[in-house]
Chains A and B, each alone.
Chain A
Amino acid sequence: MKNDFRMKYPLWMMGFILVLGMFLFGVSSPVTDIVNTETEQSMSVEYGLIAGFVIIGSLLLYFLMLIIFYVQLRRHNEKNPTQKISPFAVRPPEYLEQDEGMTHITRKASQKVYSFMIWSLPMLAVFAMFSPLSRIYTVLAILLVAFIQYVIYYLEIRKHFKEEKE
């Protein structure tokens, strides 16, 4: 069960969010030069060496992770033809609902995430409205909330599986 892809799904999402954060960090610091005169109109965006490295590195990492993720997803679907996961599912595939016991722990984990979301989202909205920081920090804050919700979900589910022994 611990190797069930659905258990690892939140970890994958956390990984994707981290890489997205890295990418965001890279693209957030360009040197922008805008020329707007009667004779010339141009805009140049220049990234430094480190920022460029972070952008390309994060993009490569993202696609590499995407390939591994897809391979693992296919492997799971081949092994579990009755519990296939669609990569485009609207319903979160990390839900474990084979029986009432699994549904119970999924519900507990979901409740914890919901409790986190009901106070973190208003705080995020206030932050976005009044923050003197640039827009990039608001996006990072959104990613942070998304990351934390997966951490909460994963830790709650893992807690139950860690304790149970045959």
Chain B
Amino acid sequence: MLKNRVKELRARYGFTQSDLGKQVNVTRQTIAFIEKGEFSPSITLSLKLAKVLQTNVNELFWLEEDDGNEE
């Protein structure tokens, strides 16, 4: 399963789901689905999210199975 840090970073920058959605040109609901891990975004959307949240895709998304490998 794909895990992410979207909610955490969005809160850090004080964005609502709607704000973030507008910046990457998707609906608020799609941001909610991504945060819940219910939907894996495309590479394009992942890159857009990473850009708005001032990080890189690897920091924003990772596979659950890789959790144990993190230091």
Chain B contact residues: helix, strand, loop or mixed:
helix
Give complex CA distance A160, B32 in Å.
10
Q: A100-B42, A101-B39, A104-B39 are in contact. Are A164 and B32 (CB under 8 A)?
A: yes
A160/B38 contact (C-beta < 8 A), A98-B27, A100-B26 known: yes
A100-B45, A160-B38 known; A166+B29 contact, CB < 8 A: no
Most buried by A among B16, B27, B29, B41: B29
Q: Is the interface of A mostly helix, strand, loop or mixed?
A: helix
* Complex contacts, A100 vs chain B, CB 8 Å: 26, 30, 39, 41-42, 45
Q: A1 contacts which chain B residues (CB < 8 A)?
A: 27-29
Task: Encode B29-67 as 1/0 by CB contact (under 8 A) with A.
Answer: 111111010110110010000000000000000000000
Count, A-B residue pairs, CB within 8 A: 46
B32 and A165 contact, CB distance less than 8 A: yes
A101–B29 touching, CB < 8 Å: yes
- Tell me which of B27, B28, B30 contacts A166 (CB under 8 A): B28
Contacts of B23 in A (CB 8 A): none
* Residues of A in contact with B (beta carbons under 8 Å apart): 1, 98-102, 104-105, 160-161, 163-166
Known pairs A99-B27, A101-B29, A164-B36. 19 more at Cβ < 8 A? A99-B25, A99-B30, A100-B30, A100-B39, A100-B41, A100-B42, A101-B26, A101-B31, A101-B33, A101-B34, A102-B27, A102-B30, A104-B39, A105-B33, A161-B29, A163-B36, A164-B32, A164-B33, A166-B28
Query: Can you name 19 A-B pairs with beta carbons within 8 Å?
Result: A98-B26, A98-B27, A99-B26, A100-B45, A101-B31, A101-B34, A101-B41, A102-B27, A102-B30, A104-B33, A104-B39, A105-B33, A105-B39, A160-B29, A160-B33, A160-B38, A164-B32, A165-B32, A166-B17
The 7 closest A-B pairs by CB, nearest first: A101-B30, A164-B32, A99-B26, A101-B33, A104-B39, A99-B30, A101-B39
B residues apposed to A, CB below 8 Å: 16-18, 25-34, 36, 38-39, 41-42, 45
